[in-house]
Amino acid sequence: MAALVKCRALFQPLRSQMNVISGVCRSDGVLHSFRLHSSDVKSADDLIVRYLDGDDSGIVVLGINRPQSKNAISKNLVTMMSEALESLKKDNEVRTVVLCSMVPGIFCAGADLKERAKMQQSEVGPFVTKARTLITELGTLPMPTIAAIDGAALGGGLEMALACDIRVAASSAKMGLVETKLAIIPGAGGTQRLPRTVGVSVAKELIFAARVLSGDEAKSLGLVNHAVEQNKTGDAAYLRALDLAREFIPQGPIAIRMAKLAINQGIEVRLHVTYLAKNKELFSCVIPTKDRLEGLQAFKEKRPPRYKGE
């Protein structure tokens, strides 16, 4: 039985039902082990990184954990996420990354304006640059990324979700690029990623009006891939995101990474230019790698393939 997933317990470490000690999660009398990004989980950690195991090996969960600030993006969170992403980029065993919240009812409220107000003017520029770079790095991770939006995702929080390949939201979630209410504009890629997701005209309307959408409304516009009814534990979007991640695991890992690269780069230029520029990479997809040979053999033998990322 896979760690954490089968017991629907990812969000519980910060709640009274569970205790987390030295990398071991105990829930309902069942012991579940998991790998941690750091040696221990502390309630003060702004980011909790978990490598799921068992049937879900290859799925990594990034849990934002700033309950006192509604998961607002702080200097420490930016640093921790940047370090985690740098580690993930180099790990060929990671198949899918799920970005979620450890705080019930909130995904991310955007920039930490209280912390920003305490910064020296000379600190603001470098911090904003680092935050933008972080979201760019999230968008360029080589493996699929899924944002599980179980609560409010506003401003920079939605920009972070937009940087992910796929978004799943609870119907009750709220999301929007609301920066114009503060007489500023989305500053971490939202003006570019939102139009690419919902279309230019719709994106303009949403940004001009600083409109906040429900999960269902976001689904109708194509802002999220799936909208699900929230459950009693407040993790419905996370559970749906895990189901999606499980669909990716059996597929050829190199093929998935190459498909993501081709889609991401190809969407930025015209089709015929893409084909000419990427001609070599397109044909490299038929090179007889070990995974491709295994896939063909598995198909012939009518059995599930056993990919190793080679």
pLDDT above 70: residue 132: yes
Q: What is the mean pLDDT of residues 27-55?
A: 57
Active-site residue, 58 included? no
pLDDT in tens, 205-248: 999 999 999 999 999 999 999 999 999 999 999 999 999 999 99
Active-site residue, 83 included? no
Computed over every residue of the chain, the mean pLDDT equals 81
Active-site residue, 179 included? yes
Positions of CATH 3.90.226.10 in the chain? 47-249
According to CATH, the topology of domain 253-301 is Lyase 2-enoyl-coa Hydratase; Chain  A, domain 2 (1.10.12)
CA-wise closest residue to 154 among 97, 71, 46: 71
pLDDT at 283: 46
Q: Scan for tokens 């996420």, then name that residue.
A: 81
- Among 38-42, 55-59, 166-170, 270-274, where is mean pLDDT lowest? 38-42
Which listed residue (159, 173, 218, 252) is catalytic?
A: 159
pLDDT in tens, 159-215: 999 999 999 999 999 999 999 888 888 988 999 999 999 999 999 999 999 999 999
Residue 279, helix vs strand vs coil: helix
Which listed residue (63, 84, 109, 179) is catalytic?
A: 179
Residue 177, helix vs strand vs coil: coil
- 293, 305 contact by CB (below 8 A): no
DSSP 8-state assignment for residue 230 = -
As a whole number of angstroms, the distance between CA 146 and CA 158 comes to 13
- Binning pLDDT at 50, 70 and 90, where does residue 26 land? very low
Positions of CATH 1.10.12 in the chain? 253-301
Active-site residue, 159 included? yes
Which listed residue (109, 111, 161, 236) is catalytic?
A: 111
Which listed residue (63, 110, 155, 156) is catalytic?
A: 156
Which superfamily does CATH assign the domain made up of 47-249 to? 2-enoyl-CoA Hydratase; Chain A, domain 1 (3.90.226.10)
- Among 123-132, 194-203, 300-309, where is mean pLDDT lowest? 300-309
Token pair of 273 as six digits: 């230019």
